[in-house]
A and B are shown apart, each in its own frame.
Chain A
């Protein structure tokens, strides 16, 4: 695949126009356009849910657009499969690299397209030589014979890049490539991006971190709510303008009206720290309050919540529940003290698929439904029926295994399970992630109902409209620490984004 470099320079390496994509209940992309040029880095910015990952999936052939056109070097193309995208020279390096620990570096680079000998066996010599050349080309001197697990995370990234280049990629997509890297490794990645630019690759760089974008990008494209709202040259903009473009909209989802009547503190956390995940977390949660936790992915919010719930152990710190000193060493103790945690991955961490609905609902409440060590099925059914009805659970019978229910009904079972423990404090981790718009409103209405009944909610969310629409107060975490706290009246989308990404106030 040889291409005339003069053509490559004038015609975009890849261009999308009018691309739309809908999923049941959601319009993920609405007639977006994106143009990538050879030898340039284009930053794609937007909030969670703006449609960035859908776009990446269309570019790499995982999803097919409902409408729109893709041209590669001026020629219209269809990426019907991931292979088609790879053959057209589009490759993606993901946040978490998909590599194989036990295989050698060379094998990782060439897995699936290893050079063959005349007899059809893997040509090890050629494979290792070409892997070495590719790595040298991106400024890495890694022995291709080493097993991947012996490399540090940064070098593993380089291997991933070499793998991407081994298929003669012209378009390289980097999806939050620095999320797992240390500062020194990030510097090395910048050098690498420069090398790729010099080699004439068109790079799409997706990041939430503005310092990175201004450091290495040539152009920017801003997505908001599935639409392309702006594009231009980085040199002609600044971070304030970008933030405004990202969040600049009226909060269009309707959130339930409710009167905040926060009462006395139910939970006081002070100095909670963990050796690697978070440090010095302290706050107060009041009765009948929704306390939002905002931050970028990896800011340590879920990790802190898991420690609060007793799954992991904090290295230091203290909590008080109803102003009495409390120690939580296990989830069972947390539940007993009235704290429950509705995890983010409700599919994986929420329901026990083979167990019937009623047994899922009573699972954290078994001590309450037992008499002298024996479970009382009648009480279990009564409890399950009560909370199933309250959540409008649709199922033929409570005997049905949860695994046979629809996704929405499984969610209801998971929530019913927690409410049945009659908690005082509910930790909701991304309560509406992966939930369609209709059900989102129902979840929000339900949260309001709960706080009106005197429960307190800690809501971890990465969606700004949700944080702004639901929270009485917001704590913003950044790199494992509390970066800012805002009262309801003072919350603005700009402030949240700035605090989460450490961007200074507008001049």
Chain B
């Protein structure tokens, strides 16, 4: 009934992931055990969240390269706060992370909307600024595990029905994001603005405002992931998640989100991230060199784009070329 929640292409990708997992299990049977699959999911949870956040932005014909820098900066701020004031409750820190992330995202959105700077330039700029800010506030120092409070580190690892909180958060947000994209006027506006900005204007939609909101959502989720990342890995420093934005964009593209805007689903982005997650987790256990991981991810991107171009005859801007060369 609803073309946006799931597309046939998503099922195809899901099938490809299953085949991949089966192929791996012939070399390493334990890969498909429930506990290992839960581990792979938990490992991929942050990539999944960033991927569907990025989807909102890409749907509007923009791109957000600052997500990983936003994550690192927000993560550093909450980690520092935790060392200074260990008594601040974790939920307050999470709210703060969402807020900081949203503000950082809103800055991108504002520059794209009001100053009309091309999105790729804006977010390349803020990427560098946010990374620089981490250095400024931390003075180049690391925040290590022993400086963080136990509650701070424990939260994402706590389990509920045998599944870690980190995974639960990502599952919850998948549902929320799916609802936003398919069941709200805002979500529909993302598709309209990316599909045909001129037509959106005549329909009473302000493309600038919609893009601003997409960036703010992307930023808020990046901020949340900032806390989750530093608490899970129990360390914060300037270079965490360095280059992770390229994995995020790659996940979207593999998931069938059109770089030209207007096409893509939450499910697709999630599956794209899972595909990368499976490759990343499986290859080391079947003794494939990590260098092959990059080549395989790259090949998957090219295949996915070729597939999109054939299936939808969309004119994709070749932003990915840069993603590959810088990767």
Instruction: Give the CA-CA distance A330 to B1 in the complex, in Å.
Output: 33
**Cβ-closest 5 pairs across A and B:** A332-B204, A352-B195, A366-B185, A364-B203, A349-B198
Instruction: Give the CA-CA distance A355 to B194 in the complex, in Å.
Output: 10
Contacts A330-B206, A332-B205 given; indicate if A352 touches B184 (C-beta within 8 A).
no
Instruction: Give the CA-CA distance A354 to B199 in the complex, in Å.
Output: 12
**Cross-chain contact A349 with B192 (CB below 8 angstroms):** no
Q: Which residues of B contact A364 (CB under 8 A)?
A: 202-204
Category for how many chain A residues contact B: 20 to 34
Q: Which residues of A contact B202 (CB under 8 A)?
A: 309, 311, 331, 341, 343, 349-350, 364
| B31 in contact (CB, < 8 A) | no
Q: Which residues of A contact B200 (CB under 8 A)?
A: 352, 363
**Cross-chain contact A375 with B192 (CB below 8 angstroms):** no
Instruction: Give the CA-CA distance A336 to B312 in the complex, in Å.
Output: 35
List 9 A-B residue pairs with CB atoms under 8 Å apart, sorted by A's residue number.
A331-B204, A332-B205, A336-B204, A349-B202, A350-B199, A352-B191, A352-B195, A355-B195, A374-B179
Contacts A350-B199, A363-B200 given; 18 further ones with Cβ under 8 A?
A311-B201, A330-B204, A331-B202, A332-B204, A345-B198, A349-B202, A352-B199, A352-B262, A354-B195, A355-B191, A355-B195, A363-B203, A364-B204, A367-B185, A370-B184, A373-B184, A374-B179, A377-B1
**Cross-chain contact A352 with B196 (CB below 8 angstroms):** yes
Q: Mark B208-252, 1 if CB is under 8 A from A, else 0.
A: 000000000000000000000000000000000000000000000
Q: Which residues of B contact A336 (CB under 8 A)?
A: 204
Instruction: Give the CA-CA distance A423 to B90 in the complex, in Å.
Output: 51
A residues contacting B by CB (< 8 A) are 309, 311, 330-332, 334-336, 341, 343, 345, 348-356, 359, 363-364, 366-367, 370, 373-375, 377, 399, 401, 417
| B263 in contact (CB, < 8 A) | yes
Instruction: Give the CA-CA distance A349 to B202 in the complex, in Å.
Output: 7
Instruction: Give the CA-CA distance A411 to B262 in the complex, in Å.
Output: 20
Q: How far is the CB of B195 from chain A (nearest CB, A)?
A: 4
Secondary structure at the A interface, as helix, strand, loop or mixed, is: mixed
Instruction: Give the CA-CA distance A364 to B189 in the complex, in Å.
Output: 10
Q: Which residues of A contact B188 (CB under 8 A)?
A: 359, 363, 366, 375
Instruction: Give the CA-CA distance A349 to B199 in the complex, in Å.
Output: 4
**Cross-chain contact A353 with B195 (CB below 8 angstroms):** yes
Q: How far is the CB of B211 from chain A (nearest CB, A)?
A: 15
A399 to B, closest residue via Cβ: B3
Q: How far is the CB of A425 from chain B (nearest CB, A)?
A: 14
A373 to B, closest residue via Cβ: B184
Q: Which residues of B contact A377 (CB under 8 A)?
A: 1-2, 183
A359 to B, closest residue via Cβ: B188
A362 to B, closest residue via Cβ: B188
Q: How far is the CB of A361 from chain B (nearest CB, A)?
A: 10
